[in-house]
Chains A and B, each alone.
Chain A
Amino acid sequence: MKRQGTFPFTAIIGQEEMKKALVLNVVNPRLGGVLITGEKGTAKSTAVRALADLLPPRLCIRGCRFHDDPNDKSNWCDECHEKYDNAQPETEELPMKVVELPVSATEDRVVGTLDIEAAIKEGKRSFETGILADANRNILYVDEINLLDDHVVDVLLDSAAMGINTVEREGISYSHPARFSLVGTMNPEEGDIRPQLLDRFALSVYVAGEKDLDKRAEVIKRRLEYEDDPEEFIKKWEEEQQNEVRRIQRAMKLLPQVTTSNEILRMAAQISITLGVDGHRADIVLIKTAETLAAVAGHTEVTREDLREAAHLALPHRMRRRPFEEQKLDWENVDKVIDG
């Protein structure tokens, strides 16, 4: 079955923060993902799925099950090490993908399992890859992530932390690279998300329905237009989509050159201390986000405004939060630190 086209990312009205957060994760795959929270029907899933069309191609080792990066030897799988430690690997360009992890997925499908065919036909014990293998160097998308079974969350946390999926089950002992950008969407009315999982997301955004009357009408109009003739609609937005892809590629190129001054580093640390967030991840994510924002904006030195914007994306879900505390973010204090 040929997959029908998806609603173009650039045709989504409003929800700028969400779109920005998603794009940042494409520009910098090491950023660490985004959690999108919001009520039903706010284009959360549409946006994530639409992101697939904007994903740029990247260099992979040909035939590798984990699409290893030929230039990143320290994250190669065992098979690539075996084959190419002393030889030049063949490469190919493959686009980044959005790999979906359905809430109903079982643990063995997520981490991988015993290859039954090889076992029966050849009497061999070998590893059949799971979703985490597909997710390596890709975007792993979990819709309704707050409804994910606890034990699946556990394995997800394990690999998200390590960048490696370790499988010790069903007679199989195997580990492979699993570095992915985790993108989750959830409706908070349906349940909480575990704090540990929450902390794994670099960014979080809250989306609400559009309040502006004209924009609301425009949302409906575009949706109807799309449903009426998807192909025509997609064609109409093709140019805008291409522009966005180019913007992303430009930012990706610029990112390695972006630097952060001591002053900005100090501000980031001060923000974390002022807000009393847990651990050090907030500081690190703040800086990485600010650097990526700078790259997207087209400059090579992180500015105060980059940091401010980064704070809005990276901090809301990190406030030190005991189960029964209201989560409040004191933006005034953040501004005070940034404006000196």
Chain B
Amino acid sequence: MKRQGYPFAAVFGMDKAKEAILLSLVNPHAGGVLVSGEKGTGKSTLMRGARELFNAPWIEIPVSVTEDRLFGSIDAEAAVKYGKRQLQPGLIDEADKGVIYLDDANLLRDDILSAILSIEEAGGYQLERDGLSEHRNTNYTVLAVIAPESGTLSSSALDRFGLFVSVDAETDPAARIEIVRRVTEFEKDNGAFRVKWAEETDKLAKKIADAKVLLPEVEMSDTMIRLTSVYTLKANVAGHRADIYLMEAARAEAALAGRKYVLPKDLERAAEFVLPHRMRELPPEQPQEPQQNETKEPEDAQQNPPAQQEEQDELFSMPDAPEPEETNTESHEGNEEDHREDESMANPNAGSNDRIDAADMRVKLPPVWIEPVKGKQKRKGSGKRSATRTDERQGRYVRAEIPHSKSSDIAFDATLRAAAPYQKWRESNGCALVIKEEDLRTKVREKRTGNIFLFAVDASGSMGARERMKTVKGVILKILLEAYQKRDRVGMIAFRKNQAEVLLPVTKSVDFAQKKLAAMPTGGKTPLAKGLSKAEDVLDMLYRQDPLQDPVLILITDGHATLPLENGTNAVDDAMMEAERIGKRNIPIAVIDTENGFIKLGLAKKLANKMQASYFKIDKLSEDSLLHIWRKMSS
């Protein structure tokens, strides 16, 4: 279907993104363009407008794409009619000499995104499908947008994009009004609007075409090549891709300016696009921008954005967490029971010796990494964290296979392709197609399953000591944040005083979890054994719901059990016994030890051993690069 889209030239602002797109269209060797920005900034509108600026294929890859269409497959129609094995080219082939556009690249399946980017780099691929085997050459440029709030790209995928731009909404009222005017005008009569902007569009198209003609003549002097290396070295990038992209982008800058030689300012401008998404740890004394003192041209002084570091942060880190609320009490000494009360957040259910801590959001927590178990199991649920194959007729159709057992989930397209070449020799039954049992193919579906995180949190008085609870809440919040992005589910058990309670049944609403956590009071004895036994109840229930789901238990405690299961037994012994029982469940468990002070009993470590859990000290958490939780091999 032909699109009568919003014209590129009529997009207000976003000059940097426009420049990057032009560079890439003029010189495909400058690499593709990745535009990142919050929703509603018009980044997709801009990208889609670019298709009118050049005369070459423009291929959009929808997130629902299947492999046969992406890579190509046997042309079933031709096979039936002429009995010939003939290729129906895939999108990757159709994009030759043109552009592949990915809207929301971070929603594409990882393997598909990675294939598209690798083939872009290699300029071709080997097709092995449906009995076809051939090498196909294809050269395209990838343009893509991502919304960082729905997850980012892996750093290796990022590295494959030559140019990167981060866009923001306009903050100037006059600019915003102009945007609203143009958009409403376009929506009321898109035909007239497009006519109005046709001249501008043609101008841009001509500018690109002219620059393309000039490009082969644009030369890089040795000085400029050296300067390129200065930039990339300063940015401390990995590998040499950046040097090539930077050089080629600078050449495109020169060509767009109508010059046959590259100036330092071309490199400087190009560096803004090439470097931000690859910069690693920067040297502390010059954190913001590549060195450029000797080469800087005065009129470009404002061109180099101090925002590079910010952009990088935005891309790589989790969204900013809110500042801790100022409602918190000051620190206090650690006695067993804490007698302070937080007035502003007083909980009616809390006893007089309870306190409620806010979360300390300065806590640094490495990403949670759950060691995947070998041989993926089939799991239920919907989320982002791990991809599992599913047997239900739900989930995304990934590819087709020869059925292993009887299945009703037939992949008709694949069946058709399998049957097609033999039609000439099969006896017709009145249909155009005779399908035999050996042709049958079934769908392989994939569903992203999130994990279930079950927190068991020690909320006793000892945890209130030295603001320990603030740190604990900070840690839990950080894990919750990650759960939010990955579409995990969370549940929470708190044990304190003389009981353990399910503070939060397992839910997908991380928001809700956050509220419950904020209101969680601390104080009283430590019924650790009861807490563990409650965790078991919840795990049992989860198992009954679906034996295939695989919850992760995160126990946060100092291990100082003070209340036994029943009167007369030993609190610590009871806890160890419960721990051993949980250990037999073969689920991934992490124990976060909050013990501090001079005398350390090391009880939490012992608990972790009993449970065969991954063990972390809360103070040391920020030093690890990953919160590595081992998934035990199921026995």
Residues of chain A touching chain B, judged by Cβ–Cβ distance below 8 Å, are 30, 73-75, 77-78, 81, 104, 106-108, 111, 114, 116, 119-125, 146, 149-151, 154-155, 157-158, 161-162, 164, 166-173, 175-177, 188-192, 194-196, 199, 256, 262, 265-266, 268-270, 272-273, 278-284, 287-288, 322-325
How many residues on chain B are close to A (CB under 8 Å)?
A: 87
Which residues of B have CB within 8 Å of A78?
Answer: 1-2
Q: In chain A, what residue has the closest Cβ to B60? A: A166
Q: In chain A, what residue has the closest Cβ to B149? A: A195
Which residues of B have CB within 8 Å of A177?
Answer: 1
- The reply to whether A269 and B173 contact each other, CB–CB distance below 8 Å, is yes
- The reply to whether B423 and A123 contact each other, CB–CB distance below 8 Å, is yes
Query: If A106-B394, A188-B509, A284-B183 touch, does A81 touch B2 (CB 8 Å cutoff)?
Result: yes
Binary flags per residue of B384-422, CB closer than 8 Å to A gives 1, else 0: 100000000111110000000000000111001100000
- The reply to whether A155 and B510 contact each other, CB–CB distance below 8 Å, is no
Q: In chain A, what residue has the closest Cβ to B42? A: A280
**Chain A nearest CB: distance from B444 CB in Å?**
13
**Chain B nearest CB: distance from A96 CB in Å?**
19
Once bound together, how far apart are the Cα atoms of A175 and B64, in whole Å? 13
Which residues of B have CB within 8 Å of A265?
Answer: 177, 180-181
**Chain B nearest CB: distance from A171 CB in Å?**
4
Query: If A196-B150, A266-B173 touch, does A170 touch B104 (CB 8 Å cutoff)?
Result: no
**Chain B nearest CB: distance from A83 CB in Å?**
14
- The reply to whether B514 and A324 contact each other, CB–CB distance below 8 Å, is yes
Q: Is B80 located at the chain interface by the 8 A CB criterion?
A: yes
Binary flags per residue of B434-455, CB closer than 8 Å to A gives 1, else 0: 0100000000000110000000
Once bound together, how far apart are the Cα atoms of A252 and B84, in whole Å? 56
- The reply to whether A287 and B510 contact each other, CB–CB distance below 8 Å, is no
Q: Chain B's interface: helix, strand, loop or mixed, by majority? A: mixed
Q: Pick the interface stretch among B66-74, B275-283, B340-348, B588-596.
A: B66-74
Which residues of A have CB within 8 Å of B622?
Answer: none
Query: If A151-B64, A283-B179 touch, does A278 touch B3 (CB 8 Å cutoff)?
Result: no
- The reply to whether B150 and A195 contact each other, CB–CB distance below 8 Å, is yes
Query: If A168-B66, A169-B69, A283-B176 touch, does A114 touch B384 (CB 8 Å cutoff)?
Result: no
* Most B Cβ at <10 Å: residue of A104, A280, A288: A280
Q: Is B507 located at the chain interface by the 8 A CB criterion?
A: yes
Q: Pick the interface stretch among B133-141, B318-326, B364-372, B547-555.
A: B318-326
**Chain A nearest CB: distance from B522 CB in Å?**
20
Query: If A107-B64, A170-B412 touch, does A270 touch B433 (CB 8 Å cutoff)?
Result: no
Which residues of B have CB within 8 Å of A158?
Answer: 62-64, 103-104
Looking at the complex, which one of A104, A168, A173, A269 makes contact with B176 (CB distance below 8 Å)? A269
Binary flags per residue of B302-335, CB closer than 8 Å to A gives 1, else 0: 0000000000000000011110000000000000
Q: Is B576 located at the chain interface by the 8 A CB criterion?
A: no
- The reply to whether A190 and B508 contact each other, CB–CB distance below 8 Å, is yes
- 11 CB < 8 A contacts A-B: A121-B433, A125-B77, A150-B384, A155-B63, A169-B64, A170-B66, A196-B104, A270-B173, A278-B38, A278-B169, A280-B176
Binary flags per residue of B49-71, CB closer than 8 Å to A gives 1, else 0: 00000000000111111101110
- The reply to whether B509 and A189 contact each other, CB–CB distance below 8 Å, is yes
Q: Is B147 located at the chain interface by the 8 A CB criterion?
A: yes
- The reply to whether B180 and A196 contact each other, CB–CB distance below 8 Å, is no
Binary flags per residue of B63-99, CB closer than 8 Å to A gives 1, else 0: 1111011100100110011000000100100000000
Once bound together, how far apart are the Cα atoms of A179 and B506, in whole Å? 37
Binary flags per residue of B226-253, CB closer than 8 Å to A gives 1, else 0: 0000000000000000000000000000
Q: In chain B, what residue has the closest Cβ to A325? A: B322
Once bound together, how far apart are the Cα atoms of A43 and B322, in whole Å? 36
Which residues of B have CB within 8 Å of A154?
Answer: 63-64, 104, 107
Query: If A284-B180, A323-B511 touch, does A120 touch B40 (CB 8 Å cutoff)?
Result: no
- The reply to whether A161 and B44 contact each other, CB–CB distance below 8 Å, is yes
Q: In chain A, what residue has the closest Cβ to B179? A: A280
Once bound together, how far apart are the Cα atoms of A74 and B190, in whole Å? 8
Q: Is B41 located at the chain interface by the 8 A CB criterion?
A: yes
Binary flags per residue of B468-500, CB closer than 8 Å to A gives 1, else 0: 000000000100110011010000000000000
Query: If A191-B509, A322-B322 touch, does A171 touch B1 (CB 8 Å cutoff)?
Result: no
Q: Is B197 located at the chain interface by the 8 A CB criterion?
A: no
- The reply to whether A119 and B433 contact each other, CB–CB distance below 8 Å, is yes
- The reply to whether A119 and B176 contact each other, CB–CB distance below 8 Å, is no
Query: If A106-B393, A123-B432, A125-B76 touch, does A324 touch B171 (CB 8 Å cutoff)?
Result: no
- The reply to whether B512 and A189 contact each other, CB–CB distance below 8 Å, is yes
Which residues of B have CB within 8 Å of A146?
Answer: 508
Q: In chain A, what residue has the closest Cβ to B62? A: A166
Which residues of B have CB within 8 Å of A280?
Answer: 40-42, 169-170, 176, 179-180, 183
Once bound together, how far apart are the Cα atoms of A172 and B411, in whole Å? 13
**Chain A nearest CB: distance from B44 CB in Å?**
6
Which residues of B have CB within 8 Å of A161?
Answer: 44, 103
Once bound together, how far apart are the Cα atoms of A104 and B393, in whole Å? 10
Q: Is B210 located at the chain interface by the 8 A CB criterion?
A: no
* Most B Cβ at <10 Å: residue of A123, A196, A281: A123
- The reply to whether B62 and A173 contact each other, CB–CB distance below 8 Å, is no
Once bound together, how far apart are the Cα atoms of A281 and B397, in whole Å? 33
Once bound together, how far apart are the Cα atoms of A268 and B38, in whole Å? 20
- The reply to whether B396 and A107 contact each other, CB–CB distance below 8 Å, is yes
- The reply to whether B435 and A120 contact each other, CB–CB distance below 8 Å, is yes
Once bound together, how far apart are the Cα atoms of A322 and B507, in whole Å? 19
Q: In chain A, what residue has the closest Cβ to B108? A: A154
Q: Which 7 A-B pairs have the closest CB atoms?
A: A279-B40, A123-B432, A281-B40, A191-B508, A170-B413, A74-B4, A269-B176
**Chain A nearest CB: distance from B4 CB in Å?**
4
**Chain B nearest CB: distance from A155 CB in Å?**
5
- The reply to whether A116 and B412 contact each other, CB–CB distance below 8 Å, is yes
**Chain A nearest CB: distance from B113 CB in Å?**
13
Once bound together, how far apart are the Cα atoms of A192 and B230, in whole Å? 47
- The reply to whether B322 and A164 contact each other, CB–CB distance below 8 Å, is no
Which residues of A have CB within 8 Å of B509?
Answer: 188-192
